[in-house]
Structure 1
Amino acid sequence: MIKALQQPSIDWQMKFSKKLIQARDHRLQSFYSKILPSPDTPISEIEFLAVDFETTGLDPKKDGIITIGVVPFTLNRICLSRAKHWTVRPKQKLEEESVVIHGITHNDILGAPDFSEVIDEVLDALSGKIMVVHYRRIEREFLDQALKARINEGIIFPVLDTLQIESDLQNKISGGLWNKLKGKKPGSVRLGKSRTRYGLPVYTPHHALTDAIATAELLQAQIAHHFDPNQPIRDFWL
């Protein structure tokens, strides 16, 4: 078993306590009031929430969220019956390049609500959970910007990033002088490629709920293959 490859020293409970005092919006106050797991809690005892966004582009300051998928899970089980999916109408125009990627068209969002109309539901789903994402910049920065644009307050939260975990693993596996001499390079850390490495099935990408489920399965596989499930959550959250 590999010990966690990063040792983040983030005191998320302290951060949440400070944010609870600073928050003005009652929904953020409720979000920060939910008790997070102790940093010493073994990851085997955590109920995670896999989260994925599809967006109009990659710049959170110019682009917006189109769909959100979330699914609760543990290292042993994925709770599909509690999965949720939202389609929202972005303020930005859908560009052809992004439509080609995620397949969401103007017709799909015509009757969709603005993100402001689902803030309560989304924050309620996220509250008290340790979120798992594949490339944390997307979910963190897009949610932060979406809230700032609508309630003038952003958000912070702990995550486990399966892309970061896989990147660290690949760098470790391909490291060393001998591997360099052989020209060995780290493998791809894209979601699909990472899943293939663990023998996980191929899913059609770029659907928020499907990608959330795929991310949950990937974390389960990463822990099963490389880590001790009794390691504390503080070794993994960012």
Structure 2
Amino acid sequence: MKLLKTPTIDWPSKFAQRLLLAQHPALKSFYQQTLPNADTPMDEIEFIALDFETTGLDPKKDDIITIGLVPFTLNRVFINRAKHWTVRPRKQLKEESVVIHGITHNDVLDAPDLSEIIEEVLEAIQGHILVVHYRRIEREFLDRALRTRFDEGIEFPVVDTMQIETAIQAKWAGGFWNRLKGIKPQSVRLGKSRLRYNLPAYTPHHALTDAIATAELLQAQIAYHYDTKQAVRDFWL
């Protein structure tokens, strides 16, 4: 089953180009790492699920406050290798975001700036395809954060479980008769999507918990709707 159009980005070539332009040592190291080939079957890849909690939703006005990641394959989530960081944002914490994720000023007061841990973060994700739920957050926030601190952004391939679920729901609700019956695509929020695969409900808005939840969601999506031997080129963006 194939619900996504094949993206046109050749990520290994993109990384080779970015390596020639990179200035910061951590970014040079990041782009030097070999990515899986576009033809690699999904079940042969070790992914990393990544999630951020932020001060808001606008990367131009907001900043990262926590980072969670966990390596996984289609058969296993490696909890013992999971990582979580709290960082001190350069933007003010907003009351509405504190209510959502529960991270207060006291929690970030003594936390390091992202620049102090970025080498550790990039080392953890380099050479991997990242899996996220709504790629705009992780892509745009990390790119903006690095531009703010180092005058240099970052690009990386992602598999977006929200994008996959959107395509699945569009197919499920598509067709003349479904429209006639008023059937509409269901919510593609992380928690709602997980429920459709009988995955357990986790407390949301914790970066590491949401990373684990995203990893499990991709496992379920592939198991239910795709061939595990399907090439990663059909999924990465």
Pair 1:19-2:10 in alignment: no
Contact 1:52 1:211 in 2 (8 A): yes
- 1:80-132 CA distances to partner (integer Å, 9 max, x unpaired)? 00000000000111111000000000111111001110111010011001000
Offset of 1:19 from its aligned partner? 0.3
5+ residue gaps, structure 1, are none
5+ residue gaps, structure 2, are none
Contact 1:40 1:234 in 2 (8 A): yes
- Runs in 1 of length 4+ with deviation above 3 angstroms? none
User: TM-score w.r.t. structure 2 length?
Assistant: 0.99
Match of 2:230 in 1: 231
What's the % identity of the aligned pairs? 69
Offset of 1:9 from its aligned partner? 1.7
The within-5 A match list for 1:71-82 is 71-82=70-81
Give the distance between the partners of 2:77 and 2:205, measured in 1 at CA: 19
Match of 1:84 in 2: 83
Contact 1:73 1:216 in 2 (8 A): yes
Offset of 1:188 from its aligned partner? 0.2
The within-5 A match list for 1:15-164 is 15-164=14-163
Secondary structure in 2 aligned to 1:13?
helix
The within-5 A match list for 1:192-231 is 192-231=191-230
Letter in 1 for 2:116: E
Secondary structure in 1 aligned to 2:48?
strand
Letter in 2 for 1:233: V
Secondary structure in 1 aligned to 2:57?
coil
Give the distance between the partners of 1:102 and 1:6, measured in 2 at CA: 34
Give the distance between the partners of 1:5 and 1:14, measured in 2 at CA: 22
Contact 1:4 1:236 in 2 (8 A): no
Give the distance between the partners of 2:102 and 2:91, measured in 1 at CA: 16
Give the distance between the partners of 2:183 and 2:4, measured in 1 at CA: 20
Give the distance between the partners of 2:214 and 2:149, measured in 1 at CA: 28
Number of equivalent positions: 237
Give the distance between the partners of 2:188 and 2:3, measured in 1 at CA: 17
Contact 1:49 1:130 in 2 (8 A): yes
Give the distance between the partners of 2:110 and 2:5, measured in 1 at CA: 44
Contact 2:49 2:212 in 1 (8 A): yes
Offset of 1:182 from its aligned partner? 0.4
User: TM-score w.r.t. structure 1 length?
Assistant: 0.99
The root-mean-square deviation of aligned C-alpha atoms, in Å, is 0.6
Give the distance between the partners of 1:49 and 1:8, measured in 2 at CA: 20
